[in-house]
Structure 1
Amino acid sequence: MRPAAANALLPTVQPTQSAHLVGRIVSNGAAPTAFNDPYAFTPGYYDLFRASEDALPSVSFFAGLTPPDADALEIGSGTGRLALAVAGRARTLTCLERSPTMRAVLISKLAQRPEMRSKVTVLQGTAPGFDLGRAFDYVYLGGVLEHVPPAERPVLFAAIAAHLRPGGLCAMDMVLRMPAPDLEERVMDEQVLGECRYVLSAEAERLGPDLSRLRQTYRTYLRGELIATEPTERLHNMHRPGPVLKDLADAGLHPAEGDGLAQATPLPDDPGAVVVRKAAP
């Protein structure tokens, strides 16, 4: 099992005959291709190291918030860990994902689930800015905020508000009080498939109070011999409850209950998520 603090470090429809790539998308930045996708080799590892029920982002947290008969939108769907659970509860689900490799894995999962083919739409797109030309009852982001610089939150939250129906719900995790990570390389998890052992390690360099450079390395061992080493590196942004809730309020999104904080981590003093609602007229 991965340590709790490590979990916080690790990332994160219209009826048709099949899951499909359709729709009008306006997003900021050029979309990656199969040749420059930063996630080109990681989707399989992503699912492997998040196979346990307690892995983050929390499937039960986001699926449990899905309103009955809702039209839902997931921003940053990845390989569909959350999407498959939410789709089982929602009326429709639209998945917005920048990585073509991640999208391909998600579509392949949907292809094996005939009951979901008519209700899940998979689209190319990215935060913070996007325009789908429609509104939803539930918008959620699991493991996404770390990729969004704090200065871009207002753009993201304005886009979310524009895509929520009055009374609609929005949930997001990675809203944390803990310091920006700063640690030497350490093993975070190990998994075994057949004769291969897969090891995920991570290290982080703190660049500021809310920013770290995160490096993850995937190592493959065959009968004890190291046969592959695949590193990834990216910036890891921290988002604090107070500023996040203020930016959400500025976008017209207010706590659904109480102070808006919700428990989405195993850390009792750091709930890690916020749940807000767009005011009804």
Structure 2
Amino acid sequence: MTDNYAAAAEFYDLMAIPYMASVEPALTKLLTGVDTVAGPVVDIGAGTGLSTMLIADALPDARIIAVEPAPAMRAVLLSRLAARKDLRERITVLPHGFLETGLPHMCAAVVALGVIGHFDTATRPWVWSTIAEALVPGADAIVEIQRPGRVEISPERRYTSAQAGELRYEGWSRADPMDADSLRWRMTYRTYRGDRLVREVVTDHHVWPADIDRLTTEARAAGLHRADSDPATGLVRFTR
């Protein structure tokens, strides 16, 4: 995952801004009621920090633990913190994978956007139990169900584009089954000057999709029950 995101980090924010704008209202709503006195909020797979910033804005009194194993993505996140002294005082960035991090057992909430599908079916029970053990009783985990949520071919499509100066950036994606349980997501980032292609970067990600019913069953086995969801964004709130 680290190598793949090293290539993607250059383009990530430009490609993700429309998505994050669509997620912000739902995430803010689902975070309503989080007791920030109970403990920190954990952002699993914080990436370049776009989700971390949303959490920080939604919960201005929260201490936040941002977990991000990919150095290139983490570098962007730390650059954000370098420019914001107020955030540096309350956001801790941990440079490890989620399961290797060792979370405190008194967390007010856990947020996992674009993450759960990176864990295979054999590992996910461990993921859910780690999340449940980290939460204080009554606390929430907000998890994104990554579309399509099942193993199927997704033909290549342009999912977003952005302009910066004289250059236009396009993000393309496609998915192909690797076996009965997993997909290969191929992300292609193309840079144009006018109509001329000046750069193309391709990254592959191995993911294990799951729909809301499957994830609800997995979460329940770890002591988490589904409390709320936002079908438009795929965000689901599970409560310990």
1:197 deviates by 1.2
Match of 1:11 in 2: none
Whole-Å Cα distance in 2 between the matches of residues 132 and 108 of structure 1? 24
1:264 deviates by 4.8
Aligned-pair identity in percent equals 28
Is contact 1:175-1:274 (8 Å) kept?
Answer: no
SS at match of 1:151: coil
Is contact 1:184-1:204 (8 Å) kept?
Answer: yes
Question: 1:51 aligned to 2:13?
Answer: no
Question: 1:84 aligned to 2:53?
Answer: yes
In structure 1, give the amino acid aligned to 2:230. Answer: Q
Whole-Å Cα distance in 2 between the matches of residues 143 and 237 of structure 1? 12
Question: 1:276 aligned to 2:234?
Answer: no
1:208 deviates by 4.2
SS at match of 1:42: helix
Aligned residue-pair number:
234
Question: 1:40 aligned to 2:6?
Answer: yes
1:69 to 33, 36, 47: 36
Match of 2:131 in 1: 160
Q: What stretches of structure 1 of length at least 5 have no aligned partner?
A: 1-30, 267-271
2:221 to 250, 254, 278: 250
TM-score by length of 2: 0.87
Is contact 1:78-1:103 (8 Å) kept?
Answer: yes
1:236 deviates by 2.5
Whole-Å Cα distance in 1 between the matches of residues 231 and 127 of structure 2? 21
Q: Deviations over 1:179-223 (max 9, x none)?
A: 434133332222111111112112221234542211111111123
1:137 deviates by 0.8
TM-score by length of 1: 0.75
Whole-Å Cα distance in 1 between the matches of residues 186 and 19 of structure 2? 24
Whole-Å Cα distance in 2 between the matches of residues 239 and 53 of structure 1? 20
Match of 2:230 in 1: 263
Whole-Å Cα distance in 2 between the matches of residues 218 and 64 of structure 1? 32
Question: 1:147 aligned to 2:118?
Answer: yes
Whole-Å Cα distance in 1 between the matches of residues 55 and 20 of structure 2? 17
Question: Structure 1 residues 53 and 158, CA, compared in 2 at 3 Å: closer, same or farther?
Answer: closer
Whole-Å Cα distance in 2 between the matches of residues 166 and 185 of structure 1? 43
Runs of 4+ with >6 A deviation: none
Whole-Å Cα distance in 1 between the matches of residues 44 and 220 of structure 2? 19
Q: What stretches of structure 2 of length at least 5 have no aligned partner?
A: none
Match of 1:182 in 2: 153
SS at match of 1:52: helix
Whole-Å Cα distance in 2 between the matches of residues 146 and 206 of structure 1? 14
SS at match of 1:162: helix
Question: 1:224 aligned to 2:195?
Answer: yes
In structure 1, give the amino acid aligned to 2:96. Answer: G
In structure 1, give the amino acid aligned to 2:95. Answer: Q
Question: Structure 1 residues 233 and 175, CA, compared in 2 at 3 Å: closer, same or farther?
Answer: closer
Is contact 2:4-2:204 (8 Å) kept?
Answer: no
Whole-Å Cα distance in 2 between the matches of residues 220 and 176 of structure 1? 25
Whole-Å Cα distance in 2 between the matches of residues 64 and 233 of structure 1? 33
Q: Deviations over 1:230-257 (max 9, x none)?
A: 100111221122222222122111233x
Is contact 2:107-2:136 (8 Å) kept?
Answer: yes
SS at match of 1:169: strand
SS at match of 1:122: strand
Question: Structure 1 residues 107 and 264, CA, compared in 2 at 3 Å: closer, same or farther?
Answer: farther
1:154 deviates by 0.5
In structure 1, give the amino acid aligned to 2:29. Answer: G
Question: 1:95 aligned to 2:62?
Answer: no
Larger deviation: 154-163 or 80-89? 80-89
Match of 1:20 in 2: none
